[in-house]
Structure 1
């Protein structure tokens, strides 16, 4: 193992020597140490500056398969062909506790989110939970009847899902070690299992050629097994959760109806195992790719193949549609990306060639260029001619994403190698040094003037960089968990970040100082925006709320804007009450939110009061449970309507004209009477169909309102004596 200066190519220090083949290596978070593991039965720690070994080797009895640092870098966890995982003090090189033994093989250990515990399991049919500080086992051993393939913590860290060669997946309580539900049984080994994002459903797939859905609360199977002719490799939900795409060793993709488990249309056939499949944007076509070296396009309704196969020389790793859905971009293990005509299947131009397997590809905004990345580099191509533009844009690990600058003259890339990099789009030459984080970079954006770059990362920080020199501006902007996103304010003087640590934070972009306190939710923050005047911040979260904040003081404005959730009865595709999004109205006086509780809601931005009833969609049956997610919502241009769309298969319009009006305006009462109540008098019966209010109708809606208005039958409610307008406003809300 050797370390090199990336700028000069000069070796740094001496070679890092093992006595056998080195299987892998990672840097510590601060980049000052290197952890290696080898066939010589050891892992070793090295000083990255000098190449000198730090402390003794970490010894196993057979080849070491992997090693990781804990998040605080104080512990090292190794696992080996000797069937053990071992925990080590990184400073002293001393083993903490005894070896965690699991027969001949152990799966890669899994840390809990807070790093206080970790899971091990393997060939001995057990999973165990261990204390990271002491190495002591926590609770009972979780036992299967044969080898355990893997395990995961639930999102709340209170349960563990395991799956095994014994033909079962099992759900366990972390605290007691007890099984929460009966085993989820297949007829052969279970090779994969996942929670739905709301943790209410478990999806499993198996060597018995089936995929199965289970109620996580009861362990009862939902619907029939989804059957292939050979082992199922994986399974995914469609966007609306109403269909499941499965792919298998039987060389097919199949589409299933989620509520009843029936297959939709014929099997979609390849000549070898299928590695992936996606729906087109309009959900009318399916694009699949396979080890047979092809991608194929299918009619989602009929299962008929559209055009000929799109052929590579080796397995296809992925595929995407162009924005207009007329072209398909594929990339594969043959070291190429290729562009295809979606209608005819004809290849457009030559293959776009790398020296290694291609991991991903995207179109430029104008669709005229293609950006590809592989283990060796990122490269830019002319989409019309297939000619490479400039030289390859090289990272040290997989490139996670890339964007063009506003003038399309520079390219910003970010990668699992813990860096973002800036490139000249014409020549492919890197501009300045790499922009370095300590863990994978999640995203990056240019400032409005393109002179600064904002990056955010799994290392719990966002960072600001000079795009001309690559120098970091000020200190890192620190959260306590991964940063999900970041934006500049309109004047570029502030930065808003949000994170898995349940907070959003506001920062001075000049100094890196935090403005005010953290903006706290009770769970992970999904998004955040400034109001148009930049004086308020709107955030939304998995905790089922949106919240408004004073951008100057950080104080919460009004109460949280709460969605329901209905946890006990319904299943949403992700979280039972998670707020999916939020926007201000054009005049900034209203906030529109939408959620997994099947509703969109309108709020008074000044008071936080909900205006009118929730705009509710239907619940769609999935076995004994329901889907209840609203996927999006927008205001109409005149702000008189809201358009919502949902997993119930509908888009709906809602009249919000009166909810958007100012009730204290002089003309409001007159307009309300003339338009909403159609100028009607209250009658004992609504004799005119245009009249919206009758006393008996009020009785049915609000028995408290009827006595107040009763006795004015035959009178114009818009004329003196004054009507209690608060009551009428309430009725308006009921009718909205």
Structure 2
């Protein structure tokens, strides 16, 4: 017994330490949480692992360089990644992180790499000041710049013009040089900086005045110079207060970004055609070390920066605010590049690793924001089809959407005139019911996207709706307190009840397609049947608005969610409370049973989801990550996961199986716990390191 208590204490101590490390080093958090579970699978340990995996955005490591990885690039088709490093190698990787090819390049340390716009060539810049261009199909050298024309010091940056005809290099010899990208012949040098030039970027074609080709350069002399490459002269010199390391243009040319030794990322308004009118739009603090690189996402809405504070950061270019800090590198972060689809970011670090980060707003346990419209599009509801093939969502953009539940690919939208408050799918996914604030519910054919039955009407907002598994009956609940039963094939009204003194916030149908549960704003819960008028009143156990109800798969139990911050599990045979689930810090908006009936998930306005065990342990797992209220939750009936809908505009998917979670966690780390990290456990006892994944 004493040993068991000691294991529990060690597990809890490791879990607490894992949570403390989350903002500093998600990788260490994962390692500590895994060790905590190895000690004993306590609720604290599992919750810590869930949070650590959620926080870590690393999807793969690029392991192969023997020294600092200096720069990275995505091939324009998104099918390959290239890295260069101090070890003098150019390495090619699959987008899953597997090394596919390695070339030893002459010239010593490699500092810069860039693909041509068509992806047929790749250029590298070396310590000897020469640029070398390789064919990406054969991995053979096309050319190297002549020694007599090349830089006298290391190349710090390299890039192709948008049309692929020119190659630009920036060097520690204080110059920018422009080359013929096909032959490697020197077109012209661009002298003007008085110290090392660290960053260069061609402006997109839309920014070029007639007859001009714009290029920006950033140097340690604190100058940002805007050049007309066609004319060979500087159009403008911008003096900054500290050395400037990098410069980049957004794809549409509306913005320019710079990163400097004042630890600031600066976003410039470059919309005016006259470069003299370009001015700082946002000064973005957050990094605690020098900013080394800046890079725009393909849509221009996100800016990435790398820093000597061992992090990369993501910034919202519209709002001028930080989105996410990507922590975990064990040294300065140098290069970075977005995938062409914007969903991944690859970084390079002095610690010898490249890292691929999932930056599609959510990560492995989740998918990207379901709507992709803006962060303001709230998702209010979701539901799976009975066969688990489809997921439907509804939200504040007046639209329901159908998704492939396995791939998370969007299949079809369904439009209303106002907010879609609820969605429900038939067992085979062929029918979708949508309930809307436009006072209508619609039954849709999901294959064609056409209505089968339109405008099942209430006099006010329809808050909730459910369609039977066979797709023949629909039930709707409205803000008018009315519950209506409909023939879902003809639209005929079958039943009409005025049970609730307040709004009907939720309706649910048992798998027998007969029994109905009604959740009322007056704190009451009523049971009905689709083919009769008998009403069963459950005791008033909430004393506050009941906002959601759901039947267990076997129909023996019902769970209700309430404004009173609890969910209640009801035994429908005795009509008494079987379990009260307390602990949320705000309204529980919805709840759902797992397919096997052993667990209940609750979605709360406290921005969390809890997964409750219905056994004697009464334990729960806590899932955080939402930036706003979590409104709905649903279990995939055939896969070990559940999904949530939140007002931050995201649909999130969570794994149920601990072994799957541990496997996912191990894919996000490349090392074991160190003895020093184990010594930090609060009880003073060390822990055994765990093996890093192969």
* TM-score interval (norm. to shorter): 0.3 to 0.5
TM normalised by structure 2 equals 0.34
Higher helix share: 2
